[in-house]
Amino acid sequence: VSAPGVIWGVGLGPGDPELMSVRAWRLVSQARRVAYFRKRGHPGQARRIVEGLLAPEATEIPLEYPVTTEIPVEDDAYGDALRAFYAESVERLLAAAGEGDVVVLCEGDPFFYGSFMHLHERLAGRAAVRVVPGITGMSACWTATGAPFCWGDDVTIVLMGTLPEATLAARMRAGDAVAVMKLGRNLPKVRRALAEAGLADRAWYVERGSAADQRVMRLADKTDDAAPYFSIVLVHGRGRRP
């Protein structure tokens, strides 16, 4: 381990700042070096959650994705661009950790499909890394529906809308409670897969769960296919209960 400072991956929860853990709140408000991912030209969801909480003297280290949805994930150029970006981000974090602890802001839980995982893997053996868990986005979203999500022996399946339609439908059939993340332009495909799995009439749609502009509705009542990145489809389980 080379850097003297600890690199913290801090889960901030799903959007409402009050859903941050006490530890996350303490680390973020006391941090002198704060890093976060964002898309170029956008503030970044994690940074937005801590608005007003950072110390005035904190140094911010924005890590800007070179690509997001401009190149298909299967394209070699996508992988190459991201590998180079993560490698460079790691060097920036290590340089900052040379000065002391660094807090990396993570939306939701860092180890639940979080970008921080790509840094964590590359930092192994090069710096002390510690992770603070957070409430996941999907947890805020099922809470927003006002109904419990999984019961008794229910098998809960978490899927990405980026998967092929046939895979989505097959995996949906294998689950009792189903969450589908990364909707965006995949929503029409997710709707077709739900219909194939016989779940279309039970699906809910939640946008920006727990944030001030949260939206919740039955998917069948959603008349368009516009879905932002922070949106999810949920099918509640109907498992055993006394």
Ligand X SMILES: C[S@@+](CC[C@H](N)C(=O)[O-])C[C@H]1O[C@@H](n2cnc3c(N)ncnc32)[C@H](O)[C@@H]1O
In angstroms, give the least distance from the CB of 216 to ligand X. Answer: 10
> Least distance to ligand X from the beta carbon of 241, Å?
26
Which one of residues 112, 142, 204, 205 is an interface residue with ligand X (CB under 6 A)?
112
Residue 222 binds ligand X (CB under 6 A): no
Does 136 sit near ligand X (CB under 6 A)? yes
Instruction: Based on the shown chain and the rule CB under 6 A, indicate whether residue 15 belongs to the binding site for ligand X.
Output: yes
Helix (H) or strand (E) holding 223: none
Q: How far is the CB of 206 from ligand X (least distance, A)?
A: 6
> Considering the complex, what minimum distance in angstroms separates the CB of residue 62 from ligand X?
18
State the CB neighbour count (10 A cutoff) for residue 57: 6
Q: Which of 188, 192, 203, 190 is nearest to 145 (CA)?
A: 203
CA distances from residue 106 to 9, 42, 185, 198 in whole angstroms, order as listed = 7, 16, 23, 35
Tokens in use for 240?
């055993």
Give SS3 for 114: coil
CB closer to ligand X out of 5 and 222: 222
- Give how many residues touch ligand X by CB under 6 A: 23
The yes or no reply on residue 133 touching ligand X (CB under 6 A) is: no
Asked if residues 219 and 189 have their Cβ atoms less than 8 Å apart, the reply is no
What the block records as the tokens of 84 is: 């180079």
Pick out residues in 137-176 that bind ligand X (CB under 6 A): 137-138, 140-141
φ, ψ of residue 108 to 5 degrees: the values are 65, -135
Using CB under 6 A as the criterion, which residues of the chain lie in contact with ligand X when the complex forms? 14-15, 107-109, 112-114, 136-138, 140-141, 181-182, 206, 208-210, 229-232
